[in-house]
Amino acid sequence: MNTNKNLALNVTQNPSKLFSLLAKNWALFFLLILILIFSFTGKRFFQLANFQNIIHLSTTSLLLAAAETFVIITGGIDLSVGFMMGLSSVLSATIMQKMHAVNFLPALSISIGSIIALIVCIIAGLISGIMITKYRVPSFIATLGMGGIASGIALIMSEGFPVTFLPPYLTDIGNGYLIYIFPGKAISFFNKPEGITGKELKELIRIIPNSFIFIVIVLFILWHILKNTKFGQHTYAIGGSMVAAVRAGINTNRHLIIIYVLSSFLAGLAGVFNVFQTGIGNYTQFSSMYELLAIASVVIGGASLFGGKGRIIGSVIGVILISVIENGLQLSGVDPFYRFIAVGLILIAAIIIDQSFPDLF
């Protein structure tokens, strides 16, 4: 039985185990190297506060990339995630604003705004999914259309301005931390210790952002679904061979509809989170390219646009890689526009590596 593992490696075209380990996890190695480099070049880069900041600012990107991971594994693509996030952000904020204006309880306004935005996103995903499965519209066309509609509605609703005057506590939750330590004097959970002001705030140590706990839970559930469940297995099968999946008795139409609903839902979740993080509702600008960065992260994380391949953990590494480049270049004093070039180069490298080692993943 020992020989089985060796055989599995031998049949792929790579002679050396170390080499294949490197090729398979190149994004992770590259990330570690970048962290090392930026630790020398970037001011205050290698600090807990900065790492927490990177994760905190990556929350929405992680949600979008996770959404895109599911879609891409089935061999599709979802170009609506960025605009769906914007719609969800504007819609939830608008509802919160209106309810808050007539003195509803903040908790109620916030919950209802969030839930309605998520439901709208679910319906949008349902429509995309039906177009793609029942009417055989290619996924990039269907979702491009849906993204356009979402963007239009968000712009009309917000009139092109951020939605403000929202209930209190939003950013306290969205930007809060699990643990606050005021060295030698106080420790508290979820809220800053009482009576700390001005200069003292600078000394306050914040550990584990709430956004980190939130994203870890969401990603863990998604990872579990993809890795351990029937649903995950069928997602891979559909991407590997649609025909095989149909003939194995899998209800592929239903499955794909759920995939696009999930993708839209996660984009909606990103929008709601965005409101918690910024305290306002933000529409998505056309130049922001959220979906393209999400797709890039997923491909860098080892997925193939032909379908059948991809992992949540890979996509997470892809997102973090892009965020670290952005953050590291900035702290090293490099013009932020260079990050587009950097991401482009890494994406090309990812595709070349994917093409050169088709059997690795």
Partner 1 sequence: MEYLLEVKNLTKRFGGLVAVNKVSMEIKEGEVVGLLGDNGAGKSTLIKMISGVHRPDEGQIFFKGKEVKIDSTRKALSIGIETLYQDLSLAENLNVYSNIFLGREKLKKILKFINVLDHDYMHKESKKVLDRLEIEIPSLRNRIRVLSGGQRQAVAISRSIYWDAKLLIMDEPTAALGVAEQKKVLELVLKLKSQGIGIIIISHQLYDVFSVADRLVIMRRGEKVGERNIKETNPDEVVSLIVGAEKVKQ
In whole angstroms, give the CA distance from residue 129 to residue 14: 39
Pick the closer one to partner 1 by CB: 17 or 224. 224
Pick the closer one to partner 1 by CB: 220 or 286. 220
Pick the closer one to partner 1 by CB: 73 or 99. 73
Mapping DSSP to helix (H, G, I), strand (E, B) and coil, where does residue 43 land?
A: coil
Pick the closer one to partner 1 by CB: 11 or 341. 11
Alpha-carbon torsion, ordered 54, 321, 88, 285, to 10 deg: 100
- Total residue count of the chain as it appears in this document: 361
Which residues would be at the binding site for partner 1 (CB under 8 A)? 3-5, 7-8, 11-12, 224, 228-230, 233-234, 236-237, 239-241, 243-251, 308-309, 358-359
Pick the closer one to partner 1 by CB: 6 or 111. 6
- Residue 207 burial (CB < 10 Å; 0-12/13-18/19+)? middle
Q: Residue 266 Cβ, how far from partner 1 at the closest point, in Å?
A: 21
Pick the closer one to partner 1 by CB: 5 or 199. 5
- Residue 10 burial (CB < 10 Å; 0-12/13-18/19+)? exposed
Q: Residue 11 Cβ, how far from partner 1 at the closest point, in Å?
A: 4
Q: Residue 16 Cβ, how far from partner 1 at the closest point, in Å?
A: 18
In whole angstroms, give the CA distance from residue 139 to residue 145: 10
Residue 179's H or E segment, with its range, is: strand 177-182
Mapping DSSP to helix (H, G, I), strand (E, B) and coil, where does residue 127 land?
A: helix
Q: Residue 90 Cβ, how far from partner 1 at the closest point, in Å?
A: 36
In whole angstroms, give the CA distance from residue 206 to residue 49: 8
Q: Are 86 and 121 in contact (CB under 8 A)?
A: no
Pick the closer one to partner 1 by CB: 192 or 311. 311
Q: Residue 309 Cβ, how far from partner 1 at the closest point, in Å?
A: 6
Q: Residue 7 Cβ, how far from partner 1 at the closest point, in Å?
A: 5
Q: Are 80 and 143 in contact (CB under 8 A)?
A: yes
Q: Residue 250 Cβ, how far from partner 1 at the closest point, in Å?
A: 5
